[in-house]
Amino acid sequence: MKQKILILEDLCTVCGHCIEICPRDSFQIVDEKLVFDGTFCHDCGHCISICPNQALTHQYLPKEDFLLISESLPSSSFLSGEQMYFALKAIRSTRAYSKKKVEKVILSKLVDIIRFAPTGHHAQNVELVVVQTEEIIEALKRESAKAIEKFLKFINNPFLLFFAKLFSKGAQIKKAKQAKPRFTRMLNGFQEGKDYLFHGAPVIFVFHAKKNSTVPADNCNQAAAYVRIVAHAFGLGSCFIGYLI
């Protein structure tokens, strides 16, 4: 089977940057050589972005798409179309965080920008919980682990699957089976003390809205997108995590 990521051994110095940045543990060093296992790779491209020697190529991600964003911001408060285009293009999902606390003034701006996010029928129904306490973050991870364990027990039970097929679409069962290896890895990671849910992020933003309000999920997604853009402008990485739901 052809690997989606090719390692150019003549360029690779085995610096280990790709190992540190990969959220799926797809790289390791064997006999002083870098080895790639694409079983859990989800094509984020972080390894290619961080490689200082351009020693990695991706089957589905052309090198020309990895552009160096060098445009400087104007002295005014506005961005040109080209600058906005490149600014948005530079945003990536971050799955490796430092333990440094986010400044209060920046958090306040991230919360405030939600007011300006569009909502269906101008409902303004998005609510937010900001979690910074380690104990609460750990509690969220434990509850997520319980939910994943419950899901795996269901998907491993032929009796329950039989009845599920009678009352739901076959496509949903198929998707659940496809997700089994990923959730198994996450659960094993929880048990080993690894954080495959929040990836060590010091702050968690939980967007929510009343279920019977106007397009609650769409409005929450819009608000989250606004926060993500502003966070990037302040030099903060972010990532959407749907597993917590």
The two tokens of residue 35 are 């080895």
Sorting pLDDT into bands at 50, 70 and 90, what band is 70? very low
Q: Which of 225, 200, 192, 27 is nearest to 110 (CA)?
A: 225
Is the pLDDT reported for residue 244 higher than 90?
no
Note whether residue 197 is domain-resident: no
User: What's the distance, Cα to Cα, between the start and end of the chain in Å?
Assistant: 35
Query: Do 124 and 86 reside in the same domain of the chain?
Result: yes
Domain of residue 121: give its range: 81-132+202-233
pLDDT in tens, 117-128: 999 988 899 999
Residue 76: pLDDT band by 50, 70, 90 thresholds?
A: low
Phi, psi of 223 (to 5 degrees): -65, -45
82 or 170, greater pLDDT: 82
What would the mean pLDDT of 94-105 be, rounded to a whole number? Answer: 94
For residue 93, give the amino acid letter. Answer: S
- How far is it, in rounded angstroms, from Cα 177 to Cα 144? 19
Average pLDDT of 236-244?
Answer: 90
- The predicted model gives 227-242 an average pLDDT of 95
Do the domain assignments include residue 71? Answer: no
CATH number, residue 111: 3.40.109.10
Kindly give, in sequence order, each residue whose CB lies less than 8 Å from that of residue 95, ignoring residues fewer than 6 positions away: 23, 44, 46, 199, 239
Same domain (yes/no): 18, 60: yes
Length of the chain: 245
> Are residues 10 and 110 both part of a single domain?
no
Quote the number of domains for the chain.
3
pLDDT digits (tens, 9 = 90+) for 137-181: 999 999 999 999 999 998 888 887 777 777 766 777 888 888 899
Average pLDDT, rounded, for the chain: 89
Lowest mean pLDDT among 19-33, 48-62, 152-166: 152-166
pTM: 0.75
Q: Looking at the domain assignment, is residue 239 inside a domain?
A: no
CA atoms within a 13 Å half-sphere pointing along the CA-CB vector of 74: 9
175-178 contact pairs (CB < 8 A, 24+): 176/151
Report helix angle 158-167 to 134-155, nearest 10. Answer: 90
- Among 125, 82, 73, which Cα is nearest to 232's? 73
Residue with the larger pLDDT of the pair 131 and 122 = 131
CA 128 to chain centre: 19
* Predicted confidence (pLDDT) at residue 69 exceeds the cutoff of 50: no
Residue 33 parent element (H or E): strand 33-36
Amino acid at 82: E
